[in-house]
Structure 1
Amino acid sequence: MADLGRTIVVGKNSRVWRSLSHDPRLTACIAIGHADVADFGFSDTDQVWILSYSRDMTQNRALFAALARAGGRRCIYVSTATANVDVVTQCYEYPRIKRACEQMCRTENGACIVSIGVVYQSAADLPAGTTIATSLDQLAEAIATPVGADEDHINLFEPITRPFGSDTERVAFRLYGIVQKLAGGWPCLLRPLDLVLRTLGWRWYGYLYLSNRLWLTTTS
């Protein structure tokens, strides 16, 4: 493993960092915003965890370029396990952009990609069914630990299964899967249905459903 110098987190205002920042394992971390990168005094032993995300690829590209100009520290880009839906469809914005950022950050910064699932503090917060998920404890431990120079891609998640709230939800879950498969490369056609499911408080729909299905069928 590489020697650990400073740990820099780019994305101090991200929801994930706000949840992690009080963890005692991370008190020595230095958190900055993406706008601070250009003027920040990095050293060659720093490990830089990139949590920043923008829906505008121009901003993501500018961030990676700024990090590249800053010199030769170790970059770790935090991506999403749902980026795997890219093999089926590019109609979902978030996974599509995160996949593009993975490729760009690896090319521009030689980054190690860390793919995380749905982030949770308590498993009770996760949707019903089986969800590819990452606990805040897992993520905090990963950030606090040196990432080896030979590490290229880390899958930091596991499947967590929770019961359905009712038989109605269980049936709806199965029927949704059938309809999503029939939609083929156009699962976004189900967005009106997704809004109904969201209103009901059933949070397993859309690209999360597709991603979970892909992970479970390719790793089982």
Structure 2
Amino acid sequence: MVTVLLADDHNVVRNGLKLLLENEEDINVIGEASNGKEAIEKIKELQPDIVLLDVRMPVLDGIETLSELSKNSAKTRSLVLSMYAQEDYVLQSARSGASGYILKDASKDELITAIRTIHAGNKYFSGSVSNIIVEGYLHNLQSQKIFQNSHQLTKAEKNVLNLVVQGLSNAEIANKLNISVRTVETHRFKIMKKMGVNKSKDMIQKAHKEGWTQA
């Protein structure tokens, strides 16, 4: 049995989704939420397998809710159900931990397929959305390639920069890469020199600006 929580600020949408899902023997809607904050609270309380999440909601929007869920709920997977196919919504949802993204004009069959696919541990992004994901991924690869070539970073420097951008301290980076703190400091100094900056915050800002998106 797949347990589902519906999170959408429109009551008529939630009612419509319940009607679509209630006849499926393997799917059970166990709760509803009208905003992101309520969704997080209900997920903690009910521990559903999947939350159907609108990308635009009050209090916390869908992207903010996804980010919170990625920190606090390993069990519940997220399927974004949205009216919007804009690139920024799709890519932000994927980066924030969504397991799937489909549009609200999707058929009942596609919605059921998406729920079952995600419950099985896989990803589900509908056709047009998949194209956006692929194009965004290729763009990021190209941006990162340009960044790396322009600054001529070594493999070790790329590894360190990746962790610096993620917010890790020198000690945490040293522990993760199994090197000394002094070595991390040396790499950081060389990276900043190659990038033409004098402060760590400037290095991070420049990395983001120039397309460093390695996860």
Higher relative contact order (CA 8 A, sep 6+): 1
Report the structure, 1 or 2, having the larger strand content.
1
Report the structure, 1 or 2, having the larger helix content.
2
Q: Kindly name which structure, 1 or 2, has the bigger radius of gyration based on alpha carbons.
A: 2
Q: Bin the TM-score by the shorter chain.
A: 0.3 to 0.5
TM-score normalised by structure 2 residue count: 0.43
TM-score normalised by structure 1 residue count: 0.42
